[in-house]
Structure formats: structure tokens, C-alpha cells
A and B are shown apart, each in its own frame.
Chain A
């Protein structure tokens, strides 16, 4: 344990201490952000290779050559893993959480700055290790991001299951350690470093979402760490935790008596909370932005907090709904099914509160607002198929089809990505001191929203038509021939959508250097990060600790001089 008493550190001198091994949560947040940006482009590149291979299986591509079926499985595995761990977990929590959370609660830094730095660099090592899996003998592993044994547990099970799979598991284990360090830092900071007056019910919903996400991460990643260690033992020391008696290529393997289901239980006990780790920060950001740009208080602040808490709570009790296919007892399946549908209740509360926030608001359609609305839209579209999949009786036929692929991409993939985009457009002025280009932001938004629906909506129809997922080639399969035109359409949509992301990157880097200078509070928002200078000084508030008198979403308060009351405004007007 490196326990640091922090904050004592003064502004660092020299390039390395200032930008590379920095203790400043703001620099670390930006490091996380760019790590995730790199990762998302790697992941996107892999996905477009998969889409191209699906409809033109024989095509020879520049750089990668012809994609073989096993290469397709490697692409699938690495796309999933990189996206889930190094984008959806890293960007919202490590990136924006790190940068914004301490400022929003009025702290000069995280509670343990050294641990924060270690957390980032450990994540970085994990990313390098997982990328290394592409370049070793046999290539990247084939077992999917869920890593089900026996495929993942046997060295001889496939071309990527040698060193590549070891690197994959090592990377995941390293990532677990990094996430644990990050999570306990976030929780301690929120508990201990809130400015005077920043009571729990005055925390911005973003802080609540990062806080709850950190609790989920703290409890979930420890389990994955154990599961990964046992998998490494099975692979390298010949134990049989996950491997029953198996025969590969006519040869009896040395394992005996293990249970692949044990891995599924441990993995999904982590895996389901992981879904909420990805989406909860997006919910927080959406709440923040919808309230700010509707110029209205968030509808049902407390309900939002309790909804997030109950989503986090139930998130730990529903892992079995990923395992309906495993021959689970119908009684357990029934329990998991009911608990899963319970999550629909807080999710609906959140959705209606977002709509209620916008209702009769004076909405300003800036890019962050568009993305927040896009988030709500995708959350609803992806979420509605959730209660269907929560029924074992429907899940069993649908689980291995594109229906599930469409479902989780909409809700946990793209909705979370929209949360990240919203956060980027919203906090960019604070982070880099300049405004992003609005016009290109809107162009980017509309292409991305339309493209997203064009890619993932048809997957639901494909799934209901019975097209199985994970298969690399189906163009020559007679009974699936009628579905190929739809797949082709999705591939074109994917290529267009991915190309449109370069608009975002160019806008990001161009605005970083050439954009118009941002004022301290360009969105006329109320939370603490907008009370300090842009970008914030090393200790966030220039040596003073702010004092909070108001709740986080005081817009349109009667009797106030402006249409918003900042949290640090003197207590002359009565608010929450």
C-alpha cells in the first residue's frame, strides 16, 4: 500500500515530472483520455476489418492481407477486450473522472496522488501487453473478450492460444490492479475531500456516478483478478480449475475434473458490474448536461441518486443472466430473470427524469447537449431489448445471434461512447482552454447517430432471423443468403461512421491549438469546475478552498440575478 497524504506537493518543474510522471490529477486525466483515444482507434480499426471480412471473405486488404477465420476470431477478441477495458472503463472513469471529480467537489487533488499516477502507468503497461499479443507467435487469442475455458485454458486449443492468450490474461490482471488503485482513490477522495458545504446531496450527479462506478470497480475487479490467476495456473502449471477431461485433435489433455462453469460464474460476477462501470459515468454526464443546457434543475435529483445506487446494487446479483445457455436450473434462471428485470425500474426512473428535465426547458442545442440527448436515445433503444433478453425462454434462442450483439453494442457500447463524446465536448473548454468547433461537432453528431442506428438496429432483425454471431463466413451459406444484403448495408454504414470519427479527432486537435479562447464558464453552468480559471491552476482553486452554498443544478431560481446560481454563490437566494 502506498498511502499518500498528498496535496502537499507543489507545482512540479521539468517536462518529465510535469507531463509524464505527473502527480496532478488533471494531467493524469488527460493521459487517460489520450490512452483511451488511442485504444478506441485500434478497436475501431479491428471492427472495420471484421465487417469487411464478413461480406468480402476473400478480400486481400492492405497491411493485413487476407483475413483467415482464426484471424477473424482474434479480431473479435481484441476488439471486445480493448473496447471494454481500455476505452469504456478507462475514458469515462480514469479520464474524465480523474480530471473533473476532484474539481467538482472542491479538492486540490485526489486523496492519493502517487497511487493515481501508478494507476495510470499500470493501465498503460496493461495496454502495451495486450497489444503485444498481436505480434507474438500464433497471434492474438481467439476466445472472445469473455475468455471461456476450455478454449482459453489450453495452450494447444488454437493458433492464438499460446503466448498470445497468456499476454491477454496478464494484461487483464494488470488492468484489474490498476482499476483497484483507481477505484479506492476515487472513493476516498469523494468521502474525505469535499469542500465545506458540499454535502452528499449537493454532489453533482457526475460525482455520484463516478463514486458508484468506483465502488463497483473496487468489488468487481478483485474477483476477475482471482479468476485470471486461476486461468493462468490452468494454462501454465497444469491445474484443472476450469478444464474437464478434454480431447484436442485426438489427444487426451492432462486435465481432469474441472468445471468451465466456474469461470463463467467468476467472470460474469465481474462482467455484469463491468457493464455498469461503462455506462454509469455516461448517465452522470447526461444528467449534468441535460440540466445545464435545458436551463432547468435536474428532475428528481434524489431519485437519480437512489436509482444509480440501486442499479449498482442489483448489478451484482444478475450475473446469471449471461449464463442461461449453460444448462442452468430453471429455478435459478427464474431468480436471475426477475432480478434482471428489476434493473428496468431504476433505469426507467432515470430515463423519465431526463425527459422531465428537458420538458418545458429553454433548451440550448450545443454539441454536448446533442450528445446527451443521443445518449438517452441509445439508452432507451438498447435498453428496451434488455427485458426481452432477461427472459430465459427468449434468451436461449436469441443469445447466440446478432440480437445480443445489437443489444449490448447499443446500450453499453455506443451509449457509453456517446457519454464520452458528450463529456469531451462539454469539458473540452475547461481542459484545454479553448472551444471546439460547433458546426463540425454537429456534423459529427448527426453522422454518428444515424450511422450507429444503421449499424446496430439491423442486427436485431438478423438475430430474430436466426443469424448466429461469431461466425466469420456466411456469404456461401444458402439459408443465410437472404441476410447478406443487410450485412452489406451494415458494413457500408460502419465504414461511413468510422470515417466520420476523423472529423472528431481533427476538430479535437485543431481546437486544442486554434480554437477560440474559452471563458471560465462558457456554458453558464453551476458546478465548481466552472468557478475556477480555464484551465485550472495546479491546485485547482489557486490556494483557496471553495465554500458551497447551493445544490448543483440551480437553474431559473426565482429572485436570483441570473438564470443560474453557482454552487459557490453567496447564500442570498434560498435554494437546496
Chain B
């Protein structure tokens, strides 16, 4: 408690002038916890929408094969590993080891990026096989097949699948950018710019990510504004707070993976 009070006062620069903070945490950490509480309700609403649709749509299709599950399992492994490296980054920052903080943050970002890329390939493959919603640009191959039938007969299946996973993918993307800003500050902006342009050029225009990659541009602008407003060196507290966010995003995946993948598997 004394330690928490000390942190608190050093954050506010006014020693001893306040009541001890209620949860013994500094303001940024409390703020992040509150954001996560709210965000869990946002995801909760989406999961409710999924469960609601699933319960009253009978029969709910179970089209995923072993290949999808294997892919999603690798993705899950990436995220779980990233949580481990995040913890190591927080430990490194708390003992003041800047080099290893940055290394572990970089490792976390690499795992996160691997997750996004694998997830994007998975999406593209499913869309190519016919699992689409009407608003997507649709490759010619998507017209027929089992997944195309699922999309036609139970539009709730692709809608909830893409709705939930897109929201989660957005959170992971935000997380990677967030960690990048914490780890590399303004040197991260050109990296982000290069990723955006490369993504836009390399991804074919009939793929949803051709447009989805613009999220990186938005992230670039927001990061630039934040870095302009607060051009400071990020400390152990910032690393810990970014870690909270990262672990939360992992935790959400631990709900999404069983619900939309494992429970939609074709078991023979």
C-alpha cells in the first residue's frame, strides 16, 4: 500500500495531498481497468448477439474442418505466447531493463502480427470458399460449395463469425500499434506507414483487407497525434498498462475461439 501511495503521489507530483487511492493503483491503471470493463461489455453484447442467433437458428451449421481448427489453434498459440512475452516485458520494465523491455515488446508485436496475418489468410480462404456476407467484394470461386450454402441458408453464421472476429482483429491491431508506440515512440510511425502502403499494394483489390488495411492509416494518424501531444519517454507504468490491454485482448480470444471455432466444427 505504501508503495502504491508513493507511485500515486509521484504521478501527481503533489506528495501526500490526497486520500490514498481506493484500489491502491495509479490513475492510468485505474483508467485502463475501467476501459476494459466497458470493452468487455462491448464484446459481451457481440457474444450475446452470437449466442442469441445460435440458439434460435436450428440447425446451426457446423462447417469448419480440421484445417480451420488447426489454423485457429496455431493462432491461439501465437496469442498465448504473446501474453508470455508481454509479462516478460513488464518484468523487464519494472527492473529498469530498457533493452529487454523493448525486445520483449517487439516479440509480443511479432506474435500479434503473426496472429493478424494468419487470421487474415484464414478469412481470405473462407471467403474464397464461399463464407461471405453480401457487403464483401466476392471472388468468383465463392459462388458454390458447402460454405456458400451455409452463407445462403444461415446468413447469421458468416455475419456473427465475421462480426466477432473482425472486432477482435481490430483490437489486436490497435494493441500492436499501441505496443509499437510504447516501445519505439516516434520511430514507430514510419514503420506503420510502410506497412500500410505495402499492405495496400500487395493485397489484391478483390480482398476485404485491401480496404481493411486503412485501419493502419487511421492508427498512424492517431499515434502521431498522441505522440505530438505527449512526446515523452514511456515508463514502466505505461508498459504495465499496455500489458493490461494486451492480456484482455487475449482473454477475449479465449471466449471467441471455443465459441465460434470449436463449437462450429464438423465432427465425424
Contacts and interface: CB of A to CB of B under 8 A. Distances in A.
Contacts of A241: 49, 53, 156, 159-160, 163
B27 A230 contact: no
Interface string A265-290: 11001000000000000000000000
A111 interface: yes
A8 interface: yes
Contacts of B28: 3-5
B266 interface: no
B95 interface: no
Contacts of B159: 233, 239-241
Contacts of A223: 41-42, 44-45
B135 interface: yes
B134 A196 contact: no
Given A219-B37, A225-B42, A191 B133 contact: no
Interface stretch (B16-24, B72-80, B190-198, B256-264): B16-24
A184 interface: yes
Given A5-B12, A238-B135, A265-B48, A196 B31 contact: no
Nearest to A548: B19
Contacts of B46: 226, 230
A237 interface: yes
B163 A233 contact: yes
B192 to A, nearest CB: 17
Given A191-B22, A239-B159, A226 B42 contact: yes
A236 interface: yes
Q: Is the interface of B mostly helix, strand, loop or mixed?
A: helix
Contacts of A1: 31-32, 35, 178, 241, 245
Interface stretch (A28-36, A250-258, A469-477): A250-258
Contact of A197 (B19, B35, B37): B19
B222 to A, nearest CB: 9
A241 B241 CA distance: 35
Nearest to B174: A1
B39 A239 contact: no
A545 interface: yes
Contacts of A248: none
A288 B132 CA distance: 57
B205 interface: no
A222 B163 contact: no
Nearest to B133: A239
A277 B171 CA distance: 28
A7 interface: yes
B30 interface: yes
A192 B18 contact: yes
Given A7-B12, A257-B57, A199 B19 contact: yes
Interface string A106-123: 111001101100000000
Interface in B139-167: 154-156, 158-160, 163, 167
Nearest to A5: B11
**Chain B: number of interface residues, binned into ranges:** 35 or more
Contact of B31 (A185, A236, A269): A185
Nearest to A176: B42
A8 B52 CA distance: 48
B1 interface: no
Interface in B30-87: 30-32, 34-35, 37-46, 48-49, 52-53, 56-57
A170 to B, nearest CB: 15
Contacts of A114: 229-230
A180 B19 contact: no
Contacts of B21: 191-192
Central interface residue in B11, B19, B35, by most chain A CB within 10 Å: B19
B195 to A, nearest CB: 21
Nearest to B178: A1
B27 A195 contact: no
A5 B27 contact: yes
A222 B229 contact: no
A191 B33 CA distance: 13
A8 B8 CA distance: 14
B19 A222 contact: no
Given A221-B38, A257-B154, A257-B156, A2 B226 contact: yes
A183 interface: yes
Contacts of B12: 5-7, 193
Contacts of B230: 2, 4, 114
Interface string A1-34: 1111111100000000000000000000000000
Contacts of A6: 12, 27
Contacts of B14: 7, 108, 545
A203 B239 CA distance: 33
A230 B31 contact: no
Contacts of B49: 226, 230, 241, 262, 266
A8 B44 contact: no
A386 B34 CA distance: 32
B4 to A, nearest CB: 11
A193 B32 contact: no
Given A192-B30, A222-B40, A233-B135, 5 more contacts: A3-B241, A192-B18, A222-B44, A229-B163, A239-B155
28 contacts: A2-B226, A6-B27, A111-B31, A184-B31, A185-B31, A187-B34, A192-B27, A193-B12, A196-B18, A197-B19, A222-B45, A225-B45, A226-B43, A229-B167, A233-B133, A233-B159, A233-B163, A238-B134, A239-B158, A240-B155, A241-B53, A241-B156, A241-B159, A258-B155, A259-B56, A262-B52, A266-B45, A266-B48
Interface of B: 8, 11-14, 16-19, 21-23, 26-28, 30-32, 34-35, 37-46, 48-49, 52-53, 56-57, 133-136, 154-156, 158-160, 163, 167, 178, 226, 229-230, 238, 241, 245
Q: Please give me the 5 A-B residue pairs with the lowest Cβ-Cβ distance, nearest first.
A: A237-B135, A238-B134, A226-B45, A3-B28, A545-B17
